[in-house]
A and B are shown apart, each in its own frame.
Chain A
Amino acid sequence: MTSAADNSPPPARRSRELPAPPARWRRYLGENGIQRWVFYIPVVFFVLFFAAPMALTVVWSVFERTQFWMEPGFTLFAYDNFFTSARAENYLYSMLHAAAAVLISFVIGFPIAVFIRRRVTRAAQHRVILLFILPFMISELVRVFAMRPVLGRHGVVNSVLMDLGILSEPITAILYSPLGVIIGDVMSFLPFMIFAGFLALEAVQNYIFEVCDDLGAGRVRLFADIVLPLAAPGIFAGSVFIFVNSMGVALVPTLLGGPGAVNAGLIANQAIVALDFPLAMAISTIMIFTLVLLLYIGHRLFDLTKILEPIS
């Protein structure tokens, strides 16, 4: 008797929650069924659209190649193919280029984030940040393609430099070259560094900067001792975004890279065009593991859970 009374919630509390569903529904949903199912929707979504495709990617990478598709089996032929061809080397170069794009984005983008956080008035900060989203409204294809008339032999950069008499002949190394790919990646993905850096800095209370004024921390100390450590998780998050996109977005090397320029995404694309699906899956699998490794290192260094919670 008493234990039953203890277990059932007091009636007053129940009536404060959702209005009781009609009996027919209650049978399917139970007491607080709606809440329970709402909770599962993201889980289902995640499994359906993230976990399952990734698992299939790994599984398919060891399938046997057929003429137009693949059939179940187990072979490491695709991996063997990857590591014994020029693809492995290209993949490493792709990582190198992506790392360069990350570094340049940090050098350019993070100071912009600091500037917005420190020098733009609070009310205007988010509007300025929104400005950096505008380029994303333009199709990536158009955006990357538009760099050709800027960086090309007779492009804006060269003509201006030549008109100013700084150059006597156009630089050709900035388009259809690895440098062109890096510039393209930086141009495309720089906003990620600005967003992530800004978000991390936004969580830093203004008081912190005033304390530094009070203690007499100069610019260099402020940056090295306070700003950088506090923004590190955000910088890492932005870096991962830029790294992954620089490796994976095939468009940039296709449009700006010239003959022979590839990144990991383009290698996979080429495999698909050649109808070698297991190879494409193997390349994707290797990319996934590269990323997981990066995230693991980042987590050990910065505790990534911090990115999601404001620093208090």
Chain B
Amino acid sequence: MTESADIAVEVVGLGKNYGAVTALKSVSFSIESGKYYALLGPSGGGKTTLLRLIGGFLRPSAGRVYLHGAEVSHLPPNRRPTSMVFQNYALFPHMTVERNVAYGLKLLRVPAGDIRDRVDRMLAMVGLEGYNRRMPHELSGGQQQRVQLARSLVLERDILLLDEPLASLDARLRKDMCLELKRIQEKVGITFIHVTHNQEEALTVADRIAIIADGELVEEGTARDVYETPDKRFTAEFIGDNNVLEGAVAAVFDGRVALDIGFAKVEVPAPPAPVPTGARAAFSIRSELLRIAGRGEDMGASWQVVPAEYVEDVYLGLTVSHLVRLPDGTEAVARQMSGESDGNRFEAGQEVAVGWPTDRARLHLA
């Protein structure tokens, strides 16, 4: 192949069936070297399958895997430049922390003195100095995952695969570990591929995110792109807290698409791809961009405004969600920082208007 040297992972038409079950359809994408990459998607979407195909724990039913430009589809896990961190329970229970981390080097017949140095350095890197003699059952879940991390990193292979490494940790610890993972990745500079179904986790750690659902790669981009300007409707529904409204394309004119959503016509920025008039389409707008005002209140020229009926507010700690019902019966959510809300101005059943900045909505063709 003719990949430039800084593509760490390239998969081409990768597919996997388990008997009659198709876990992965035909996925192609590539990952730049040294990036923190997240595979995000709903349960059963095929993330683990994809990761295991890259790591060599599964044989593909179709397609190829290239690591640093070399075809590896036929190689076992230990002959690939990858190493895997598993969800849980994957430390050798009968070995101390030190022996767990050293085991891979021992198999490679690294001299004992070197092993000790490298193990100590790696334990320091993951924040576990002095834990050498502990047994795995004497460690917390977070510490066990750090040991796993050290065991993989000490091999100095340059692609690290992590399959829901934080799934069994509590929310608080998960947050800390996310930042820790990110810090370690930046320090060692190798490629991390991190599977998770938790969007917050993915947004925290990843430079780039791929959305995987139903055995397909839905969308792929920087964390910010995927969150702020998703291309696909699925992404908008999956990440963040978006309102999605459906309609038909009524007209296309200078950079705008007029969408007929039944009870109103709204303008949405046109995507780069051509939009046929009359096509079914949807648009999404993040709930924190939605604003509620009294009927007839002016929001400004660059805003789209539709009528609605106020339903209720839900206090969520950091934010407050205001629920409104649109004339066609669908509900929409407007989110506000709790501190910012100057008390709730509206009552259930009250006629209101909801608006959003025109250029922040995204059109999704079916």
Contact present for B77 and A213 (CB under 8 Å): yes
Counting CB contacts under 8 A, is A169 at the interface?
no
Counting CB contacts under 8 A, is B55 at the interface?
yes
Give the contacting residue for A216; candidates B84, B93, B107, B151; CB below 8 A: B107
Nearest A-chain residue to B100, judged by Cβ: A211
Counting CB contacts under 8 A, is B103 at the interface?
yes
What is the CB-to-nearest-CB distance from B92 to chain A, in angstroms, rounded to a whole number?
Answer: 6
Distance A221 CA – B103 CA, assembled complex (angstroms)? 11
Residues of A within 8 A of B104 (CB): 215-216
Contact present for B103 and A210 (CB under 8 Å): no
Within 8 A of B (CB), among A231-273: none
Tell me which of B76, B86, B151 has the highest count of chain A C-beta atoms within 10 A of its own C-beta.
Answer: B86
Give the contacting residue for B92; candidates A210, A216, A226; CB below 8 A: A226
Counting CB contacts under 8 A, is A182 at the interface?
no
Interface residues on chain B, size class: 20 to 34
Contact present for B78 and A214 (CB under 8 Å): yes
Counting CB contacts under 8 A, is A207 at the interface?
yes
Counting CB contacts under 8 A, is B29 at the interface?
no
Give the contacting residue for B108; candidates A205, A216, A229, A230; CB below 8 A: A216
Residues of A within 8 A of B94 (CB): 229-230, 311
Given A205-B89, A208-B90: A214 in contact with B83 (beta carbons within 8 A): yes
Distance A226 CA – B57 CA, assembled complex (angstroms)? 19
Contact present for A208 and B84 (CB under 8 Å): no
Contact present for A207 and B57 (CB under 8 Å): no
Distance A208 CA – B77 CA, assembled complex (angstroms)? 14
Contact flags (1/0) for B70-89 with A, using CB distance below 8 Å? 00000011110001101111
Contact flags (1/0) for A186-209 with B, using CB distance below 8 Å? 000000000000000000010110
Residues of A within 8 A of B252 (CB): none
Counting CB contacts under 8 A, is B137 at the interface?
yes
Contact present for B103 and A213 (CB under 8 Å): no
Residues of B within 8 A of A208 (CB): 89-90, 92
Within 8 A of B (CB), among A275-312: 311-312
Nearest A-chain residue to B89, judged by Cβ: A205
Given A213-B76, A214-B55, A214-B77: A207 in contact with B107 (beta carbons within 8 A): no
Contact present for A211 and B78 (CB under 8 Å): no
Distance A32 CA – B136 CA, assembled complex (angstroms)? 39
Residues of A within 8 A of B90 (CB): 205, 207-208, 210-211
Contact present for A225 and B93 (CB under 8 Å): no
Counting CB contacts under 8 A, is A217 at the interface?
yes
Other than A205-B89, A211-B92, give 10 A-B pairs with Cβ distance below 8 A: A207-B90, A213-B57, A214-B55, A214-B78, A214-B83, A216-B79, A216-B108, A221-B107, A229-B94, A311-B93
Residues of A at the B interface (CB closer than 8 Å) are 205, 207-208, 210-211, 213-217, 221, 225-226, 229-230, 311-312
Residues of B at the A interface (CB closer than 8 Å) are 55-57, 76-79, 83-84, 86-90, 92-94, 103-104, 107-108, 136-137, 151-152, 155
